[in-house]
Amino acid sequence: MNIEEIINQYSNYLYTTITNITYGNLSNEDIEEVISDTFFIFWKNKEKFDVNKKINLYLAGIAKNLIKEKFRKIHINNNIEDYENILIDTYDISNSYEQIERNRIIEETLDSMKKEDKDMFVLYYYFSKSIKEISKQLDCSEFKIKSRLFRIRKRLKANLERGGYRYE
C-alpha cells in the first residue's frame, strides 16, 4: 500500500480519533495539522513499521503522542516549530507498539469509569488543567478532585500491572 492509499483510507479515521481524544477542544486547522504530522512521521519511519501490525492502531498511537505534545506546548507556550524538529529526530518507532498497548489499557479503564471521573482525569493529564481550574469547571471541591485522581491513578496502575506493566 502506498502513502496516498493510506492517507485516503485513514484520514477520516484519524479525524474522528483526534476529535474524540480531544473532546472537540482542537480547531479544524489543529486537527488537520496533527493528521498531516501523523502521516509524515509514519512515512518517514515506514521501514521500521511491522507489516503484521494494524496500521490504524499505529497511526492512532502517533496521533495521540502528537496531541499530548501539542497540549503541552500550548500550555507552556513553546514554539511548535522547535517541537517538530525535535520530534522527527527523536521519535522512536519501536516503542510505539508498547505505548499503543498501554494506551489501550488506559482507555479501557477510563471508559469503564463514571463520566465525571474520566473528565477529571482527561482535564488534568491531557489538558494540563490545574486542580483549581478543574474544580471551577466541574463545580466541585479541590479535595474531591484530588481524592478522585488518586483513586483513578491507583486503578490505572492495577490495570496496567495486570496487563504486564510494572511501576515502582
Write down the pTM of the prediction: 0.45
> Can you read off the three cell numbers belonging to residue 26?
482542537
Give the alpha-carbon dihedral of 19, 27, 37, 103, to 10 degrees.
Answer: -30
Class assignment of domain 113-168? mainly alpha
pLDDT of residue 168: 53
Angle at which helices 142-162 and 115-125 pack, to 10 degrees? Answer: 90
pLDDT of residue 75: 53
Q: 1-92 maps to which CATH number?
A: 1.10.1740
Q: Are 134 and 35 in contact (CB under 8 A)?
A: no
Determine the Cα–Cα distance for residues 61 and 25; give it in Å rounded to an integer: 19
pLDDT of residue 54: 79
In tens digits, the chain (168 residues) has pLDDT values of 678 888 889 889 888 888 877 777 778 888 899 899 988 888 888 777 766 677 888 888 888 888 887 777 665 444 444 444 444 444 444 455 667 777 788 888 888 989 889 888 888 887 888 899 999 988 999 999 999 999 999 998 888 888 877 765
Determine the Cα–Cα distance for residues 163 and 157; give it in Å rounded to an integer: 10
pLDDT of residue 167: 61
Determine the Cα–Cα distance for residues 106 and 46; give it in Å rounded to an integer: 27
Domain assignments of the chain as residue spans, ordered by start: 1-92, 113-168
pLDDT of residue 2: 79
pLDDT of residue 83: 43
Q: Are 78 and 87 in contact (CB under 8 A)?
A: no
